[in-house]
A and B are shown apart, each in its own frame.
Chain A
Amino acid sequence: MTEWTGTISMKRIRKLGYLFKEGVRNMFTHGFMSFAAICVTVACLVIIGSFSSILYNLSRMVKTLERENQITAFIDDSYDEQTAKTVETAIRRLDNIREANFVSRKEAGRRFIEQQGGGEAYQGIDEKTFSDRVVITLEDNSKMAETVALVEQIHGVDHVNAREELAEGFTTLQRVLNIASAAIILILLIVSLFMISNTIKLAMYDRRDEIGIMKMVGATNRFIRFPYMVEGFLIGVIAAALAFFIDWGIYNLIAKQIQNVDALKLFDIVPFSKLLLPMIATFGAAGLFVGIFGSVMSIRKFLDV
C-alpha cells in the first residue's frame, strides 16, 4: 500500500474541505432536484410563516381585549382622599397586578358625565354619589378570582367589581388559540418534513449509483453523508431566506389592505419589523432542520450497501 504522508488531522481538514466543496458542487450538478427541494421547502415555510403571523396577531388581539377587562376596587366612603390613596399602594404590592391607578370620586364623576355625553341633566350630580376607587389591570386574568379575594382583604376596600366570567372567557379563548396554533404549526411542520424528505429521497434515488460507487471504493458513511448534509444545509438556508422575504412581502401587503378598509381598521396589525427577529430565527431554524434532517433521513436507506 502507498504510504501517505501528513498527519491524521491534516487528512481530516483536507477531507472536510473537499466534502464541503462537494456538497456545494452537488447542489449545482443536480440543479433540478435542488431547485425542486428549495421550492417545496419555500412553499412549506411560507405557509407555516403566514399561519404563525396570523395566529400571533389573533393572540395579541385577544390579549389586548383581555387587558381592557379591568377590575375596580371601591374604597370605603369614610376615607378621605389622602387615606384612600394608601389603598392604591397596598394593591400595587400584591402579585399579579400589572397596573393600579387611583381615581378620586371627583374624577370618577367627571368621567361619568363625559361618558354620558356631558348632558346638562347630569351636571348637578353630587360628587359624593361616587366613591374613590382603584382601577386595576391584571398580569394574568386566569387568576382573577384569587387576586380579587386578596384585594377584598385590604383594609379600606369596601367592595370589588370584577367580571370574572368575561376573564374566564378570554382565558379559554387564549388557551384554545394557543393549542390550535401549536397543533396547526406542528401538523404543517410534519407535512413539510414529509414533503421535503420525499423530494430529497427522490434526489438521493437519482444518485443511488453514485452512493453505491462511493461505498465500493471504501468511503465511510460519514464521508458519504457529509456532502449531502452540506447540500441540505444550503438548500435550507436558501429556502429559509426566500420564504422570509416572500412572507415579509405578503404580510405587508395584507396589513396595508386591512388598514385601507374602514371596517377592518379595528384590527391592530403588528408591524412586520416587530416580527423580524423571531421570524428570522424560526425560518432559519426550520430551514436548517428540514434541510439537514431531511438529507440525513433520506440517505439512510441508500447507505446500506
Chain B
Amino acid sequence: MIEFKNVTMVYDQGNRALENVSLKIDDGEFVFLVGPSGSGKSTIIRLLTAELEPTSGSISVNGYQLDRIKSRQIPYLRRTVGVIFQDFRLIENKTVFDNVAFSMRVVGASNKQIKKRVPYVLDLVGLENRGRRYPTELSGGEQQRVAIARALVNNPSMIIADEPTGNLDPVRSYEIMMLLERINALGTTVVVVTHERELVNRFTKRVIAIDEGNVINDGMDGYYINEEN
C-alpha cells in the first residue's frame, strides 16, 4: 500500500516539485500516474523508492515509513517494490537469465531456488527461450520484458513502472501494458507512470493526474478522458 499525506518536496536549488500532495493506492490496484514533463511524476517515484526524502509530510510504502526510514532499511524496502525503467537498465555483460537471477542473488536465494524461479518468470513474460541471450541481442520490447521479469522475480507486492513504454513502438507498448495488467490480476499492485495519453485511454483504470506538483484529478474515468470530453 502507498499513502502520501500532505507531502511537499523542495529540491536543494529551491525548485518545488510537489506541493502538499495526498494520495492513497491500495494493495492490488492498477494505477496510472500521468502528467506532462516536469509535473512531479518522477519525484513521486524517487520518493517511493527512498531515493529522496520528502521536505515535509509522511509517506508510507508497504509498511515502511519513508519520511523517517533508516538507511540500512532502504534495501529491504526496495525488495518489496519492483521498479521498471524506460531505458530498461539491464546489465549488458550478464545474460537474460543472470540479469533476472541477480535480484534473487541479492536476497541470498540458493542456486536451486534460482533455477526453479527464473525460468518460471521468464515464461510468464514470454521469454522462455531467451535465457542465454545478452540484452543487446534482444529487441526493445524484449529488453523491457527482461526488466519486468527482474522486477517480478522476488515476488514483490508492488511494481512501479516509470515510462515503461517510452522507448517502444505502439504495438510493443500495448503488449507491455497487457503484461502488466496480467501481473496485476495475479495480485501485485501496479503503478505505471506515463505521459502517453492514447495508451492510458485504452485501459479503464484509475488515473492520478499530476501537474505542477499538485494532484489535479484522481478517478476511474481518467484525466485525459475528461479532457477530451
B155-A212 in contact (CB<8A): no
Chain B, interface SS category: loop
Q: Contact flags (1/0) for B21-51 with A, using CB distance below 8 Å?
A: 0000000000000000000000000000101
Q: Among the listed stretches B75-83, B175-183, B197-205, which one makes contact with chain A, having 4 or more residues with CB under 8 Å of it?
A: B75-83
Within 8 A of B (CB), among A1-37: 1-2, 4-6, 10-12, 14-15, 18, 29
Q: Which residues of A contact B79 (CB under 8 A)?
A: 217-218
Residues of B within 8 A of A1 (CB): 80, 154-157
Query: Is residue A99 within 8 Å, beta carbon to beta carbon, of the partner chain?
Result: no
B72 — which chain A residues lie within 8 A by C-beta? Answer: 220
Nearest Cβ in chain A — how far from B57, in angstroms?
23
The reply to whether A214 and B106 form a contact with Cβ atoms under 8 Å apart is yes
Q: Does B14 contact A (CB under 8 A)?
A: no
Residue among A15, A209, A217, A305 making CB contact with B108, cutoff 8 Å = A15
Contact of A2 among B80, B108, B117 (CB under 8 A): B117
Chain A residues whose CB sits within 8 angstroms of the CB of B77 once the complex forms? 218
Q: Is A254 an interface residue (CB 8 A)?
A: no
Query: A218 to B107, Cβ gap below 8 A?
Result: yes
Which single member of A2, A218, A305 contacts B106 (CB below 8 Å)? A218
Tell me the interface secondary structure of chain A in the complex: helix
Q: How far is the CB of A209 from chain B (nearest CB, A)?
A: 7
Please tell me which one of the listed residues B49, B76, B105 contacts residue A216 in the complex, with CB atoms under 8 A apart: B49
The residue that B103 contacts in the complex, of A11, A29, A217, with Cβ under 8 A, is A217
Chain B: number of interface residues, binned into ranges: 20 to 34
Q: How far is the CB of A28 from chain B (nearest CB, A)?
A: 10
Q: Is the CB of B78 within 8 A of A213?
A: no
Q: Is A210 an interface residue (CB 8 A)?
A: yes
Does B185 reach chain A (CB closer than 8 Å)?
Answer: no
Q: Are A218 and B75 in contact (CB under 8 A)?
A: yes
The answer to whether B89 touches A216 (Cβ under 8 A) is yes
Q: Are B91 and A213 in contact (CB under 8 A)?
A: yes
Q: Is B150 an interface residue (CB 8 A)?
A: yes
Measured in the bound complex, the distance between the Cα atoms of B107 and A219 in whole Å is 8
**Which single member of A15, A29, A217, A305 contacts B150 (CB below 8 Å)?**
A217
Q: Which residues of chain B are within 8 angstroms of A214 by Cβ–Cβ distance?
A: 102, 106
Say yes or no: is A63 at the interface (Cβ < 8 Å to chain B): no
A215 at the interface (CB under 8 A from B): yes
Q: Are A14 and B108 in contact (CB under 8 A)?
A: yes
Q: Cα distance A215–B105 when bound, in Å?
A: 13
Taking a contact as CB atoms under 8 Å apart, the answer to whether B89 and A212 are in contact is: yes
Q: Which residues of A contact B76 (CB under 8 A)?
A: 218
B229 close to chain A: CB less than 8 A: no
Q: Which of B89, B102, B107, B110 is the most central at the interface, judged by chain A CB atoms within 10 Å of its CB?
A: B107
Is A245 an interface residue when CB atoms closer than 8 A count as contact? no
Q: Chain B residues near A219 (CB, 8 Å)? A: 75, 106
List the A residue with the shortest CB-CB distance to B89. Answer: A213
Can you spell out 8 A-B residue pairs with CB atoms less than 8 angstroms apart?
A4-B108, A4-B109, A14-B110, A215-B78, A216-B49, A216-B83, A218-B106, A220-B75
List the 4 closest A-B pairs by CB distance, nearest first: A11-B108, A218-B79, A218-B78, A217-B103
Additional pairs, 11, CB under 8 Å, beyond known A219-B106, A221-B75: A1-B154, A1-B156, A2-B113, A4-B107, A4-B110, A15-B105, A18-B105, A217-B103, A218-B107, A220-B75, A223-B75
